[in-house]
Amino acid sequence: MNNPPKSPDDLNKYQIDFFSAITKTFLFTEDGIDYQMDSYPIDLVEQIIPLKNLSGKERLLTYNQQYWFRLFSTMQSEFPLLCNLLNYEAFNKLISHYLDENSSESFSLTNLSNRLLDFLKNSRDWTQYPILLEATELELIHIESFDALQLSNELQLVPMTVKEIHLIESKGLAFQPSCTLFHEHWNLVFSRHQAIEQLEEEEDIIELEPLLEESFWCIFRKDNIVEEEQISFIQYELLSLLKNGHSLNDALVSIENSATEQDLILIEKNLSSWFARWVSLGWFVLPK
Amino acid sequence: MTNKNSFENLGVGIGLRVDHYPEIFTSKPNIDFFEIISENFMVDGGLPLFNLNRILEQYRVVLHGVSLSIGSSDPLDFDYLARLKKLTKITKTPWFSDHLCWSSIGGKYSHDLLPLPYTEKIADYIAEKARIVQDYIELPFGLENLSSYVSFKNSEMPEWEFYKRVVEKADCFMMLDVNNIFVSSVNHEYDPHDYLKDLPYDRVLQMHVAGHTKKDNGTLLDTHNNYVCEEVWELYRYVYEKTGGVSTLLEWDDDFISFPETHSEALKAKNYQVIGNE
């Protein structure tokens, strides 16, 4: 291939200045939003043709507003629960802080939130609110499940062939990439449904107060809808071991070591029906 | 119908949006074609491709991108282009388009369509990149004119001359958005007919129409959340005749109305499709 086209010298500086102006964060004050137009790069502002009723800065502000309003709106739709728990203003402040430090590096808006959980976990302001971290984790699982690949070698039937049973017993089960286990300490799955309902019915937003309630879930995509299936603690333990690459035999041995006698009876009695249900929900693919 | 170039006139289409899926999948409406936002489907799998395949079973699809960022001083992103090329094969699109703008710099994305100073050097730089993109994808490449909210003192020519220079130097094509012409003409205080006076109409491969919003300060925003105004339809009438008739697409991206209402808004285009005897 020939040499790549060479950018005109002044284009790069113009674009760095423009990007810096439109990504300038807003100040959220008691009186509303304070735009920081005075901190737009002066070289850029001087190049913009003013109109009779609009200065160069005011014209540039349109791009500054569009940048943030688009990103706020995208994140609000991806994180309905977090947005409800924080309220819109606090949510927008969080997103503006997050994206100021983590500008998008992808052509797709779907990757915008990739580093949000790490951002929260690394900030003392947020680690004191574990419910918000857990809500973020739940909503990220939903986003990932929506976009995940669907592998074609899905385990379809129970009972399985002898070869398949042998593979599972010895090598373990692989999961569909859309399938993720979730351990919650508040009833966030339920609360998330409530938050979405409020948005869909365009009701006045009522701030939700999730209850302190521990439960376990598998979040997965079936027939191209992301769903949640509640599971017991022992099922969560077993599935976690399988997900971490243990064979079924190893997983059962490991559980036997820590489970109560009652649990063991439960497992022995229900293992086949559990698997029948999980297979019917399309959680597994055959190991290679 | 024959037009001034060799592109097939696909008729009147609608921009495909997720909100439309329930209606499309259940009632299978008779639509000439859909235009998809390429980046929404440049993924390895998951729901977006599943839904796209269902659409492709029934409809013709053309690709329209928003993140090529051809005007960026960053080099072309060949990973992006490889994904785009793969999507052109899946969809069998007759052409592909993106905007005459920039949207990323230093690998950071604004997710917006940002304006450029209209200088000869920048036009020639973009033309060179556009030629490479068209050669790489191996399909006709349409560049779309932008709605913009600022203009620059260091511009050496009006937008229409810049646009013409880029497509002619690149030997590529125009995705002409008449709403964008109207929006920019108000924002920059020029007559939209000056824009249309001397365009190379044989290079127009598709047209866009859309609605816009007026801000309190008088700026028009290209929001795609409204009905097409009469002034834009009149510009459409003019361009349609000049081109000899090209594929037309209604963009509606926010504050959605029902799918039948969206379709009927798009079909209004037929009332303005007059081809004179030349």
Among A62, A70, A109, whose Cβ lies nearest the Cβ of B219?
A62
Among B112, B153, B221, whose Cβ lies nearest the Cβ of A67?
B112
Check pLDDT > 90 for residue A93. Answer: yes
Among A47, A53, A109, whose Cβ lies nearest the Cβ of B152?
A47
- Looking at residue A110, what is its pLDDT? 85
B111, B162, B212: best mutation site toward chain A, by most A Cβ within 10 Å? Answer: B111
C-alpha–C-alpha distance, residues A209 and A186, integer Å: 9
Q: Distance (Å) from the C-alpha of residue A74 to the closest C-alpha of chain B? A: 11
The answer to whether the CB atoms of B112 and A22 lie below 8 A apart is yes
Among B75, B102, B111, whose Cβ lies nearest the Cβ of A15?
B102
Residue B216 in contact with partner chain A when CB distance is under 8 A: no
Q: Distance (Å) from the C-alpha of residue A117 to the closest C-alpha of chain B? A: 20
Residue B50 in contact with partner chain A when CB distance is under 8 A: yes
Window B:68-97, CB contacts with A under 8 Å: 72-73, 75-77, 80
- For residue A103, give the 3-state DSSP assignment: coil
Among A48, A110, A148, whose Cβ lies nearest the Cβ of B152?
A48
C-alpha–C-alpha distance, residues A165 and A277, integer Å: 16
Buried b (16+ CB within 10 A) or exposed e, A170-205: eebbbbbbbbbbbebebbbbbbbeebeebeeeeeee
C-alpha–C-alpha distance, residues B233 and B273, integer Å: 10
Residues of chain B with C-beta less than 8 angstroms from the C-beta of A18: 105, 114
Nearest to B150 by CA among A50, A17, A35: A50
Tokens of B144: 């779309």
Among B43, B75, B218, whose Cβ lies nearest the Cβ of A147?
B43
Domain boundaries, chain B: 12-272
C-alpha–C-alpha distance, residues A155 and A157, integer Å: 6
- Looking at residue A127, what is its pLDDT? 86
Interhelix angle A248-258/A233-243, nearest 10 degrees = 140
Residue B134 in contact with partner chain A when CB distance is under 8 A: no
Domain boundaries, chain A: 8-78, 79-285
Check pLDDT > 90 for residue A30. Answer: no
- Looking at residue B78, what is its pLDDT? 97
User: What mean pLDDT comes out for the span A240-262?
Assistant: 88
The answer to whether the CB atoms of A108 and B40 lie below 8 A apart is yes
The answer to whether the CB atoms of B111 and A71 lie below 8 A apart is yes
Among A48, A106, A107, whose Cβ lies nearest the Cβ of B150?
A48
C-alpha–C-alpha distance, residues B115 and B99, integer Å: 10
The answer to whether the CB atoms of A106 and B109 lie below 8 A apart is yes
The answer to whether the CB atoms of A5 and B107 lie below 8 A apart is no
Q: Greater confidence, A170 or A81? A: A81
Residues of chain B with C-beta less than 8 angstroms from the C-beta of A66: 112, 221
C-alpha–C-alpha distance, residues B13 and B93, integer Å: 14
- Looking at residue B39, what is its pLDDT? 96
DSSP B73: S
Residues of chain A with C-beta less than 8 angstroms from the C-beta of B121: 8, 11
B73, B79, B189, B255: best mutation site toward chain A, by most A Cβ within 10 Å? Answer: B73
C-alpha–C-alpha distance, residues B51 and A164, integer Å: 31
Residues of chain A with C-beta less than 8 angstroms from the C-beta of B37: none
- Looking at residue A165, what is its pLDDT? 66
The answer to whether the CB atoms of B149 and A6 lie below 8 A apart is no
- Looking at residue B278, what is its pLDDT? 46
Tokens of A65: 């507003």
The answer to whether the CB atoms of A22 and B110 lie below 8 A apart is yes
Rounded (5°) CA angle A253-A257-A263: 90
Among B47, B109, B149, whose Cβ lies nearest the Cβ of A104?
B109
Fold entry, domain B12-272? TIM Barrel (3.20.20)
Tens-level pLDDT at each residue, chain B (278 residues):
446 678 999 999 999 999 899 999 999 999 999 999 999 999 887 888 989 999 999 999 999 999 999 999 999 999 999 999 999 999 999 999 999 999 999 999 999 999 999 999 999 999 999 999 999 999 999 999 999 999 999 999 999 999 999 999 999 999 999 999 999 999 999 999 999 999 999 999 999 999 999 999 999 999 999 999 999 999 999 999 999 999 999 999 999 999 999 999 999 999 999 876 54
User: Model confidence at A276, in pLDDT bands (50, 70, 90)?
Assistant: confident
Residues of chain B with C-beta less than 8 angstroms from the C-beta of A15: 72-73, 102, 105, 114
Q: Which residue of B has its CA nearest to A73?
A: B254
Average pLDDT of chain A, as a whole number: 91
Check pLDDT > 80 for residue A2. Answer: no
- Looking at residue A176, what is its pLDDT? 94
Q: How many CB pairs under 8 A join A and B?
A: 125
Whether omega for the bond prior to residue A159 falls within 30 degrees of 0, making it cis, is yes
- Intra-chain end-to-end CA distance of chain A, in Å: 40
Provide the ipTM.
0.95
- Looking at residue B4, what is its pLDDT? 66
- For residue A150, give the 3-state DSSP assignment: coil
The answer to whether the CB atoms of A63 and B150 lie below 8 A apart is yes
